[in-house]
Amino acid sequence: MAVATYKFEVSTQGYSDIIDVSDQVQDLVKRSGLKEGLATVFVPGATAGVTTIEYEAGLVSDLKAALEKLAPQGASYAHDSRWGDGNGFSHIRAALLKASLTVPFSKGRLTTGTWQQIVIVDCDNRARRRQIIVQLTGE
């Protein structure tokens, strides 16, 4: 069993900006030389998450709208009262999404579905440069 850890960065616009990182993750699986195993994609920080979606304009818009309904920007958050940074909604959205996702790979390829992409969702209230950590475990 081998473990390989990689890092890369993405620039985001915040406010639930959704970035497709599927190709970067697949490239890392290929570079690792591993054929069978698990790819864990992790985004450090308390205001971003990772999930899968069919990455097309309609669903990207729908996901943003759903996050706005679940944790609206204009709502009152105790976090904002305490810290004054106005990103309480960002923390709630990120907590609902989760900070990591594990995807199996086989024969050196991620086993995502035809219309399924791995995405980072930056929920913060400002643009960011996000680090993405990908840890591959396999053989």
CATH code for position 57 = 2.60.120.460
How far, in whole angstroms, is CA 25 from its chain's centroid? 11
Angstrom distance (rounded) from CA 121 to CA 35: 28
Per-residue pLDDT tens over the stretch 121-131: 999 999 999 99
Type of residue found at 111? T
Domain that holds residue 37: 2-138
Single out the residue of 135, 1, 121 nearest to residue 53, CA to CA: 121
Model-level pTM? 0.96
Residue 127: count of CB within 10 angstroms of its CB: 12
Angstrom distance (rounded) from CA 128 to CA 82: 22
State the total domains in the chain: 1
Residue that the structure tokens 């009152």 belong to: 76
Per-residue pLDDT tens over the stretch 18-76: 999 999 999 999 999 999 999 999 999 999 999 999 999 999 999 999 999 999 999 99
- Per DSSP, 14 falls in state S
